[in-house]
Amino acid sequence: MNPAPKPCHPAPESCHPAPESCHPAPESCHPSPKAEDLLLDRTTDIAILGGGLAGSAAAILLARAGRDVLLIERETQPQHKVCGEFLSQEALAYLNLLGLDAAALTTLGAVPIRSVRLAHGTSVSHAQLPFAARSLTRRTLDAHLLQLAEASGARVLRGTRALSLDPTSTGWSIHLESKEASSASAAGQSLTATTALLATGKHDLSKRPRPRGKQPNLVAFKMYFRLSPQQAAALQSHVELILFRGGYAGLQPVEDGVANLCCLVDRTALQRIGGRWPHLLRTMQQDCALLRERLHNATPLLEKPLAIASIPYGYVRPTATDGLWSLGDQAAVIPSFTGDGMSIALHSGSLAAAMLLRGQTPAAFQRQLHDELSTQVALATTLSRGLLWTPTRSLFTAAATLWPTLITTAARTTRISPTALANILQARTTPA
């Protein structure tokens, strides 16, 4: 069984702003209601655990349909997350459905991504993306989706962690722990819910670990950089996929002229090169001339990288045995190079809301999601393994240099299917 993701020396998913602060935290448009008020009678129709993309998507759609929704998010303030922050065409379609259209994303600072470069050693191949994409920091995106959930009528309880989730004769009992001194009364308390949606992302609740997945030995790091003006201009509108010994990285611009470098490395390969971020950064630049060029005179914007390990890549939940709706990374974990994890999270949240409103069961939901995602996730996992293994990595980069369409084909075939997307968009217009 898979232990909860462990921090890999730097603190996981926390932001340590360096002297030059990177993206000031977006402010909530409403003052946070007190936990005591949100938990008034300690019972709710629908409890959503986790306010990332999957949890917020479900909360928005369920609250809009008039359901009583309580969303529980452990962080008090918006946080940076380990994520490449590449928003695929499908992710953009779901965001539009939730109320974040192209104009709203532009206002938030999202930047267009039109092309992909694949870089390894001194070789670089280039292809247009087969779809329009964007990038935006998770701190900004997640904060706005939570605000949309509140504006749609969901109660959002920030700074409170769900410790456990247990079935009862009438639904669920959820044990909570609050971070905030002001909501001490919520600490150590339980809440009952008729329906529970689990959307805690990479973090497993106690007694609910996900299996290890098919590529579990990767460690992920993320760092923001301010590039030199010349390199920032060269990166504009591009996502760059960088291959190196034992791993791969994505470099792309996000809002405010900042670049996000997010990488995955095999744990053994990381130990072999010294085990720490500076060793990894050096290795990536030694192995890839393009990254060396990009990071010349660049300034890191976080004191330490964000990091996370033990991610169960390749896992797709087959069914729901105990009546729980599992969303996002709790339902399926696709290798990161595809840039499709966010669209899967948004898809699963939207699909769960549509099926719940139609009176369908969590088992039917989980089966449908499994059928929609398993081929895509399996293919992406095979490709991800190939990118890490030296002979296949060299073969792939050589082939991509000759036939750049190979990159576009890989990008297209590892996306959420057009039918699954169309079903969600259609469910929106069909009365429950």
Binding site for ligand FAD (CB under 6 A): 49-55, 72-75, 81-86, 91, 161-162, 199-203, 205, 220, 262, 264, 311, 328-329, 336, 339-343, 345
Residue written as token pair 């109320």: 99
Q: Of 72 and 129, which CB lies nearer to ligand FAD in the complex structure?
A: 72
Gap between the Cα atoms of 278 and 181, Å rounded: 37
Distances in Å between the Cα of 148 and the Cα atoms of 32, 58, 278, 286 are 14, 11, 39, 44
Residue 259 is inside which H or E element, if any?
strand 259-266
Q: Of 20 and 166, which CB lies nearer to ligand FAD in the complex structure?
A: 166
CB of 13 to ligand FAD, least distance (A): 8
CB of 18 to ligand FAD, least distance (A): 21
CB of 201 to ligand FAD, least distance (A): 2
Q: Of 256 and 401, which CB lies nearer to ligand FAD in the complex structure?
A: 256
CB of 228 to ligand FAD, least distance (A): 24
What's the CA angle centered on 238, arms 232 and 241, to 5 degrees?
A: 105
CB of 297 to ligand FAD, least distance (A): 25
Diameter over CA atoms, the chain: 64
CB 302 within 8 A of CB 18: yes
Gap between the Cα atoms of 196 and 273, Å rounded: 44
Q: Of 91 and 93, which CB lies nearer to ligand FAD in the complex structure?
A: 91
Gap between the Cα atoms of 381 and 215, Å rounded: 7
CB of 49 to ligand FAD, least distance (A): 5
Q: What is the DSSP string of 177-239?
A: EE--GGGGGGTT-EEEEEEEEE--TTPPPTT-PPP--SB--EEEEEEEEE--HHHHHHHTTEE
Q: Of 262 and 356, which CB lies nearer to ligand FAD in the complex structure?
A: 262
Q: Of 317 and 393, which CB lies nearer to ligand FAD in the complex structure?
A: 317
In sign, the C-alpha dihedral spanning 305, 311, 316, 319 is negative
Q: Of 215 and 343, which CB lies nearer to ligand FAD in the complex structure?
A: 343
